[in-house]
Structure 1
């Protein structure tokens, strides 16, 4: 799977170009499934946020409104009740999965419960575009600062498909806690590398390695040696 881990979607031409590179085709020729699940787990979101994401009415976080050939909705909480034989082909046939923000631990829980997490390693050519929590779910841990919904395990562990953690929305004017100072404290509580990224930044991950795509600002943190 090819990953484009964003803080706020396809915000600028550089991130847009990175998406096209991963797709290997124009957006107008690519089929998408959007996943709104994470939004339902966060205490500050509601059904209106889900509708805006699905319908492409969220201009501050461009995802579904980019001009895809088609866009479908994949709600992970529904998948266990319909059977893998129905939904697995939907995922396999999509060029890109557009994954909304919200609560990364809630999203990770339903990715495991639905079976999507187990399917991901087989999706070699599929592009995963994460928005905030949709990016954080691919990391090893969210860090305690981002624990809102409490998973059954009581842990802040996420899927660990990449080896670094993400602090999104760095210096966002509506999120006074998301400062570089607080990001440094957050990173100090982790055991692995981490990135603080603003809304103009994304992290592109392929078999060839990792590349930070940015028209804003970001910082990488490395774990301190004992």
Structure 2
């Protein structure tokens, strides 16, 4: 897969340009599936999922003008046959993965079978927001553990070899300071990136790039 890992969606022209470059065509010619699963454990989770799907969450994903848009709810997939949803995933140009709880999302990506499909989707663009981006790391760190998986721990999917600290210096999240990010990163045995809402990370063909109209830090510095 090709990855566009964001803190808060397609917030500026630079991130939008990166998305179009990964797609290899205009957004208006691309088909997308929205995955709102991570929202469920959060306070107001059902309303949060509805806002994402309807383009009202302030984390631009579904409202970008896609050719077609569907919803893929991971918790439903184990109860239906793969033939009901795998073709839709394979046909999608982009998977739009909303924020919420990263460990809950990792659990259901595994339980649903979606994570098993990732290696066979080389051209699909995975667009993550917050938890939807963090889930691709090997771990999220104890600070971000909310919902606890049956196995415990803070292990996520490990698609990339770095961790993410989203919403750096967000005015509504006073704990998301740079000093907090440094302390968080020190608990993880891997490179980490603290990114604000105007920043994204792309991963394509084994190459990682930072796209930003805001600020970010690689940790340790």
Normalised to the residue count of structure 2, the TM-score between the two structures is 0.98
Q: Give 1:207 shift.
A: 1.1
Specify the SS of the correspondent of 2:96. Answer: strand
Q: 1:193 aligns with which of 184, 191, 206?
A: 191
Q: Which runs of 4+ in 1 moved over 3 A?
A: none
**What does the per-residue CA deviation read over 1:66-99, in whole Å, with 9 as the maximum and x for residues that have no partner?**
0000100000000000111211101000000000
Structure 2 unaligned regions, length at least 5: none
Q: 1:217 aligns with which of 207, 215, 218?
A: 215
Q: Give 1:202 shift.
A: 0.2
Computed over aligned residues only, the root mean square deviation of the Cα atoms, in angstroms, reads 0.9
Tell me the distance in 2 between the aligned counterparts of 1:133 and 1:208: 22
The aligned counterpart of 1:110 is: 108
How many pairs were matched up?
221
Tell me the distance in 2 between the aligned counterparts of 1:39 and 1:151: 15
Report if aligned partners of 2:182, 2:220 keep a CA contact under 8 Å in 1. Answer: no
Q: Give 1:208 shift.
A: 4.1
The aligned counterpart of 1:129 is: 127
What is the 5 A alignment of 1:28-39? 28-39=28-39
Tell me the distance in 2 between the aligned counterparts of 1:8 and 1:20: 17
The aligned counterpart of 2:167 is: 169
The aligned counterpart of 2:22 is: 22
Normalised to the residue count of structure 1, the TM-score between the two structures is 0.96
